Amino acid sequence: MIGWLQGQVQDPWQQANRFGVVLVVAGVGYEVQLSRRQFAELPPQGARLTLHVHHIIRDDGWLLYGFAERCERDLFRELVAVSGVGPQVGLALLGELAPRALVAAIIQADLRCLAQAPGVGKRTAERLAVELRSRLQQRFSDLIDALDGEADDAAAELEHEPVLSGPGREEVRLTLAALGYEALEIQRAMRAVAARGQDPDGEGAPDDPDGWIRACLRWLSRDAA
């Protein structure tokens, strides 16, 4: 089995939503499929490249999937072990989200975030969250610790910024949840709105739940505009 390759970049390629590169190792060109994000970060042709490889042997040929980091390859293997999640879906998820963000989305059951990847519907996202949550918490504790550290840093940055507390904060959370937003999305939106200043909505008092709801909805819909 091939688990690691180091060679020169030759002939990057793209076919619809599939991405890859021919990696020349000791005079042999290995065709390796990549995630969209990994493809975008390829060095120029002729440059040296190291990839951790997941190798699949089928009756009609060998398939190689390459990753810059070992933890990313290991996460890919966890993804494709889930029923209904094939290599292309695994690459799509890793192409949409960096490993730490993907682990966080699965553990926190952020279905909307997971479903942003091509080919990932709500049912697949739910299956990922149900089947992988416990395993990822145990296996990728280092990534989770890094995420917790980032959350602590973000909280420290917002220490002196306006926050909505008590019943008002709960009202905002419940309203956004009723509209279909996930807990992680709501948390991010409230942080972003809090960072804007004393009057998040521009129309009312800084502790007005209705103003916070309007401001959070504008932030959450920014990608759809």
Averaged pLDDT of the chain: 82
Tens of pLDDT, residue by residue over 17-45, are 899 999 999 999 999 999 999 999 999 99
- Choice between 137 and 18, residue whose per-residue pLDDT is larger: 18
Average pLDDT (82-91) is 93
- In this prediction, residue 112 carries a pLDDT of 85
What does the alpha-carbon distance between residue 45 and residue 15 come to, in Å, rounded to a whole number? 18
Q: Do residues 92 and 46 both lie within one domain? A: no
pTM for the whole structure? 0.65
pLDDT surpassing 60 at residue 78: yes
Q: DSSP string spanning 51-64?
A: EEEEEEEETTEEEE
Question: Using N-to-C axis directions, what is the helix angle for 209-220 and 183-194, rounded to 10°?
Answer: 110
pLDDT category, 159, cuts 50, 70, 90? very low
Q: Do residues 76 and 137 both lie within one domain? A: yes
Q: Considering its fold, how many domains does the chain have in total?
A: 3
Q: Do residues 12 and 46 both lie within one domain? A: yes
Q: Do residues 59 and 75 both lie within one domain? A: no
pLDDT surpassing 60 at residue 155: no
CATH number of 108's domain: 1.10.150.20
- In this prediction, residue 148 carries a pLDDT of 45
Residue 52 lies in a domain: yes
Residue 161 lies in a domain: no
Residue 150 lies in a domain: no
Q: Can you tell me whether residue 140 is helix, strand or coil?
A: coil
φ and ψ at 159, to 5 degrees? -60, -35
Average pLDDT (199-219) is 71
pLDDT surpassing 80 at residue 163: no
The set of residues, in sequence order, having a beta carbon less than 8 Å from that of 185 and lying 6+ positions away, is: 110, 112, 113, 176, 220
Structural domain boundaries enclosing 85: 70-141
Residue 146 lies in a domain: no
Q: Do residues 53 and 94 both lie within one domain? A: no
The set of residues, in sequence order, having a beta carbon less than 8 Å from that of 202 and lying 6+ positions away, is: 211, 215
Q: Do residues 32 and 56 both lie within one domain? A: yes
Single residue among 67, 96, 117 that ends a domain in this structure: 67
Residue with tokens 């499929």: 33
What does the alpha-carbon distance between residue 119 and residue 141 come to, in Å, rounded to a whole number? 28
What does the alpha-carbon distance between residue 125 and residue 63 come to, in Å, rounded to a whole number? 25
Residue 147 lies in a domain: no
- In this prediction, residue 178 carries a pLDDT of 79
pLDDT category, 152, cuts 50, 70, 90? very low
Winning range, highest mean pLDDT, from 39-48, 109-118, 166-175, 211-220: 39-48
Single residue among 141, 156, 179 that ends a domain in this structure: 141
Q: Do residues 170 and 196 both lie within one domain? A: yes
Q: Do residues 41 and 98 both lie within one domain? A: no
Q: Do residues 135 and 74 both lie within one domain? A: yes
Residue 156 lies in a domain: no
Single residue among 52, 67, 82 that ends a domain in this structure: 67
- In this prediction, residue 139 carries a pLDDT of 78
Tens of pLDDT, residue by residue over 166-207, are 678 878 888 888 787 877 778 778 878 877 654 555 544 566
Residue 158 lies in a domain: no
Q: Do residues 103 and 87 both lie within one domain? A: yes
Q: Do residues 53 and 111 both lie within one domain? A: no
73 and 53 in contact (C-beta within 8 Å)?
yes
Average pLDDT (46-58) is 95
Q: Do residues 60 and 74 both lie within one domain? A: no
- In this prediction, residue 161 carries a pLDDT of 45
Residue 195 lies in a domain: yes
